[in-house]
Structure 1
Amino acid sequence: MLIESWVNVLRASLQNLWLTVAGFLPSLMGAILVFIVGLIVAAVLDRVVERLIYYLKVDAVLRKLGVEQYLHRANLTLDSGHFVGKIVYWFFVLAFLLAASDILGFFTLSGFIRDVLSYVPDILVAIMILLSALMIATFLRRLVMASVMSAQIHGAKGLAMVTWWVVMIFGLLTALVQLGVAVNIINTVITGLIAMMAIAGGLAFGLGGKEYASKLLQRVEDEIEHKR
């Protein structure tokens, strides 16, 4: 009787295991099929986007902005097509992995992947902010250098570099705010920088223009007395 009871328990356990596996297999096969399709779609879109970036000659524009020299300092190669293509590739891989995870009922994994995918637009916007800041900084650097050199004032290169770094720092801080990295701290830093620049500019103008303002007021006073 005892052995027969053990056999019945073992038979029931194996039957339950088989029913569980048999019920899970269709979902597993469907998830694998969806993920394989996702890999194919991601690879195709990767190549399409990479070719499109090369066709638009984005690298040539970035070289004119001076991006390549900064990448070389970090031992990196300028290849925007490959970079954007890989972003597209992994976005669609994660999207199809999310679908496969939902099919299998792995809702914790699905929630994590969904959070990652929702963060991708912020990353793209941050990249656009940095590129825009780089374009503006490069333009202002050349403008400041040309203006200072035409006025025959020393230190044109230094002033141009200061202008470039100020714009890039603001661009970097704005990109970090877009990414949600220590927003309160960055807002405080930006406010402090603006206040510091305003105070420094006021002091520089006040101290540097004190003598000129005195002469200007004296000239106005002399003209008033002369008219009398």
Structure 2
Amino acid sequence: MLNWLEILTSSFQASGAAVISFVPNIIGAIIVFAIGWIIAIGLAKLVKQLVDMFKVDQLLEKMGAKEILEKAGLRLDSGAFVGALIKWFFIIVFLLAVTEILQLFQVSEFLRDVLLYVPNIIIAVVIMLAAVLLANVLHRIVKATVSAAGLASADFLATLTRWAIFVFAFLAALIQLGIAPALINTLITGLVAMLAIAGGLAFGLGGKDYASQLIEKVRRDMGSRS
């Protein structure tokens, strides 16, 4: 009976010592996370104010981004978006420090992967912003060119050009994010092939009469010379 009591006593003492030795780590982790949370929120507010000060939303609105986002049920607020990215980036950084303090190494590895993924998100956002700019510029160019040519399909072709750029940019952003890259590459290849075939058929069928008239004219010229 005495041996059992000694075993239980030593077990409780060892457990208590382990808990007591781990308490400073918990307190340190809480302090580090609290400091990180304050820094992250402060930097997010600062970045939002800087973005708003440079009037990025007005520039994006002129590029047509506001209209597109509203159609998707979203509100244009680039300052809040960039601020949120900054905030969560620093929160994850300090969470990584907390997991290292608490010796949660598997969680630390996961958080490192998340941090390494953040640049992909930024590049994907840049791709979409560049697509908005390019799509609106080409929309105006195509509309003006087709209208100057006296064709009635100026609005249709301009809108088709804009949305074609949006679709390809969206697929490129998904590839950058690593979302089903093989499937998206197949879709892009299929779309390019479809457009090439459709363009060839349209040109061939539309230019058939003109080509026959041109050939007939050449024949008449050759016959008159002979």
Tell me, yes or no, whether TM beats 0.5: yes
**In the alignment, what sits opposite 1:107?**
105
| AA matched with 1:203 | L
From 5, 8, 13, the equivalent of 1:15 is 13
Shift of 1:62: 1.2
From 144, 161, 171, the equivalent of 1:163 is 161
**TM-score, reference length from structure 2:** 0.93
**In the alignment, what sits opposite 2:96?**
98
**TM-score, reference length from structure 1:** 0.92
For residues 98-120 of structure 1, the C-alpha deviation after alignment (integer angstroms, 9 at most, x for no partner) is: 11101110112112211211111
For the residues of structure 2 that align with 1:213 and 1:77, how far apart are their CA atoms?
52
Q: Secondary structure at the match of 1:118?
A: helix
Shift of 1:222: 4.2
| AA matched with 1:194 | V
| AA matched with 1:195 | A
Q: 5+ residue gaps in structure 2?
A: none
Q: Structure 1 vs Structure 2: percent identity of aligned residues?
A: 46
**In the alignment, what sits opposite 1:208?**
206
Q: Secondary structure at the match of 2:216?
A: helix
For residues 27-81 of structure 1, the C-alpha deviation after alignment (integer angstroms, 9 at most, x for no partner) is: 2222222212211221121112111111221101111122212332344321110
From 44, 53, 56, the equivalent of 1:55 is 53
| AA matched with 2:93 | A
Map residues 69-84 of structure 1 onto 2, 5 A cutoff. Answer: 69-84=67-82
For the residues of structure 1 that align with 2:85 and 2:207, how far apart are their CA atoms?
53
From 140, 143, 153, the equivalent of 1:142 is 140
Q: Secondary structure at the match of 1:205?
A: helix
Q: Report which stretch shifted further, 213-222 or 33-42.
A: 213-222
Q: Secondary structure at the match of 2:158?
A: helix
**In the alignment, what sits opposite 1:24?**
22
Number of residues paired by the alignment?
A: 226
For the residues of structure 1 that align with 2:219 and 2:46, how far apart are their CA atoms?
73
| AA matched with 2:99 | S
Q: Secondary structure at the match of 1:47?
A: helix
For the residues of structure 1 that align with 2:219 and 2:170, how far apart are their CA atoms?
49
For residues 179-227 of structure 1, the C-alpha deviation after alignment (integer angstroms, 9 at most, x for no partner) is: 1111111111111111111111111111111121222333344445556
For the residues of structure 2 that align with 1:76 and 1:195, how far apart are their CA atoms?
33
From 174, 177, 180, the equivalent of 1:179 is 177
